[in-house]
Amino acid sequence: MLRLATRGSPLALRQTESVAEQLRALRGLIEIEPLVVMTRGDRHRELPLDRIGGQGAFVKEVQLAVLEGRADAAVHSAKDLPSDSSTGLRLACVPRREDPRDVLVGSTLDELGPGGVVATGSVRRRAQLANLRPDLTFVELRGNIGTRLERARDGTVDAVVTAMAALRRLGLEDRAAQVLSPLQMLPQVGQGALALECRDDDASTAELLASLDDPESRRHLVAERSVLATLGASCAAPVGAYAETARDGTLELEALLASGDGRILVRARRRGSDPVATGRELARALVADHGGSAIEGVGAIEGVGAIEGVGAIEGVGPLEGAS
């Protein structure tokens, strides 16, 4: 039996079910059982994420279930993973990434009137929308996808921002009023991707999960997480990053830093073959060369060690430059 630790939200359960379906299709009749875990982020839905730990609020308890042996692997939304990996765990696989873009539900950007009310719990989304439309009004929004979409349906707010990947996985993509291109809204690090972790010493589970790994999706995630890791845990500013593969096979990586009110927003792009090195170079350029150091909450970048949790999967060739 393979026990998969997961949050209990409808989206998290659907993501875990999708992993189970893919494993059964590839590896035959495997008995797979979800283990639902309540996280700090789930317990305190009334509080903004930055009040309860931001990134990591939805993963620590799920990781602990694997470390304690109550589950064999954890299924995460990759965007929820902190840039530093949990000791004792390995990033076992990154399945093929879903659409990473953000969407507006309830109204398009152009249809929002002056002072339109937009609901989002993400400082990254808020900063970028404020940069595009300084007249907009923002309100905090937490809860599962159904709860968020209802706010747009009942007229409490004019629009809600969410991820296209979440809508697609739940069969709700028809609710999107506008899909925002990365030029308008750079996605969160890892948005649209899943990340499966298992214990470092569990070679059999790692081998099983490796069958789902998509090398390109992993490479993109490694690059984006490298940006975040280089900026460091002390960075309190909104951050976005998005990696793609160019026609010649090289990596194209774009990232941004913004002030919370969106008045200052700096973006930069780099190309390279090494995802970790490209992410580090881009993060440093944002701060040192493009004005990111002027944004409150952005500290100086010092020496950067190895980035954990982005290395090769056992039984799969290593990614170039991944540690």
pLDDT at 304 over 50: no
C-alpha span between 187 and 269 (Å, rounded): 14
* 137 and 112, same domain (yes or no): yes
Residues 6+ apart with CB under 8 A from 300: 287, 293
* 28 and 142, same domain (yes or no): no
The lowest-confidence range among 43-47, 187-191, 252-256 is: 43-47
Asked whether residue 280 is domain-assigned, the answer is yes
Q: What tokens appear for 243 in the block?
A: 């990696």
Question: Helices 10-27 and 203-210 meet at what angle, rounded to 10?
Answer: 90
Give the predicted TM-score (pTM) of the model.
Answer: 0.87
* 115 and 26, same domain (yes or no): no
* 91 and 197, same domain (yes or no): yes
Please compute the mean of the pLDDT values over residues 315-323 and round it to a whole number: 31
* 3 and 85, same domain (yes or no): yes
Note the pLDDT tens digit of each residue in 101-154: 999 999 999 999 999 999 998 999 999 999 999 999 999 987 788 888 998 888
CATH number of the domain within which 224 lies: 3.30.160.40
What is the structure's pLDDT at 290? 74
* 132 and 44, same domain (yes or no): no
* 47 and 122, same domain (yes or no): no
Asked whether residue 171 is domain-assigned, the answer is yes
* 222 and 86, same domain (yes or no): no
Asked whether residue 245 is domain-assigned, the answer is yes
**Number of Cα atoms under 13 Å in the Cβ half of residue 88:** 11
C-alpha span between 156 and 142 (Å, rounded): 14
pLDDT at 308 over 50: no
Please compute the mean of the pLDDT values over residues 66-95 and round it to a whole number: 92
Asked whether residue 185 is domain-assigned, the answer is no
Active-site pick, 72, 80, 158, 202: 80
Asked whether residue 279 is domain-assigned, the answer is yes
What is the structure's pLDDT at 47? 52
Amino acid at 316: V
C-alpha span between 8 and 42 (Å, rounded): 9
- What single-letter DSSP state applies at residue 299? P
Average pLDDT in the chain = 87
**pLDDT interval class at 289 (50, 70, 90):** confident
Catalytic site includes residue 200:
no
Please compute the mean of the pLDDT values over residues 237-257 and round it to a whole number: 96
Note the pLDDT tens digit of each residue in 26-74: 988 789 999 999 877 666 555 555 554 555 667 899 999 999 999 999 9
C-alpha span between 110 and 102 (Å, rounded): 16
Asked whether residue 123 is domain-assigned, the answer is yes
* 10 and 83, same domain (yes or no): yes
The structural domain count of the chain equals 3
Asked whether residue 312 is domain-assigned, the answer is no
C-alpha span between 46 and 252 (Å, rounded): 38
CATH number of the domain within which 147 lies: 3.40.190.10
Closest C-alpha to 6, from 194, 173, 174, 139: 194
Kindly report the three-state secondary structure assignment for every residue of 22-58.
Answer: HHHHHHCCCCEEEEECCCHHHHCCCCCHHHCCCCCCC
Asked whether residue 157 is domain-assigned, the answer is yes
* 203 and 82, same domain (yes or no): yes
Containing structural domain, residue 53: 1-96+193-213
**pLDDT interval class at 294 (50, 70, 90):** confident
C-alpha span between 301 and 321 (Å, rounded): 20
* 72 and 131, same domain (yes or no): no
* 91 and 106, same domain (yes or no): no
